[in-house]
Structure 1
Amino acid sequence: MNTVNELKKVLDSKRPLDPVTTKSLQDDFMLRYNQASRQ
């Protein structure tokens, strides 16, 4: 799966967002990604 690439596309398309919002989106994604990869 290229989930990370998909996320990067989404983040790139929302680049005008403030850095704090983008950071929280990344953190949220990494949490889910790490949890999913542990299973």
Structure 2
Amino acid sequence: MFCAANRYVDGPATWAPDHPEAYRMMADEIVLNGYPSIIGIS
């Protein structure tokens, strides 16, 4: 979904959280507010 929302893929600049809890927190935010809430689209 990130690629579809951003309309591009930037492999070399891709990051991933090191801590597993970060994924749970992002998932909770997505469930409540949708994908725009985690990618900065209002």
- Fold-level match, TM-score > 0.5? no
Higher relative contact order (CA 8 A, sep 6+): 2
Alignment TM-score, normalising by the size of structure 1: 0.38
